[in-house]
Amino acid sequence: MEFDHGKLFTDRLYKYMRDRNLTLNRVATLSNITASTLNNIVNRGSAPRIDTIYKICDGLDISVRDFFDFPPYNEVEE
């Protein structure tokens, strides 16, 4: 089964942003990345590098594991 990982990542990021009432610019600042980097990921579908994922999770004060703890990533294949 194929997944649009970019869309899954963006949807999950927006969920955390809504829950915490954060803007993209604020997430970028908290994550110590440029706003243009985050905008490219969200608006252009650019795949984030692993170090960028870690920075975003750090900025949101969550673990990478928690960030990706949702279907389809946490489903067990049988």
Domains parsed from the chain with CATH numbers: 5-67 (1.10.260.40)
- Cβ-based neighbour number of residue 67 at 10 Å: 19
∠ Cα 45 7 1 (to 5°): 120
Look at residue 77 and tell me whether its pLDDT is greater than 70: no
Task: For residue 78, name the pLDDT band (cuts at 50, 70, 90).
Answer: low
- Which whole number is the average pLDDT over 39-68? 92
Query: How does pLDDT run across 2-52, given as a tens digit for each residue?
Result: 777 788 889 999 999 999 999 999 999 999 999 999 999 999 887 889 999
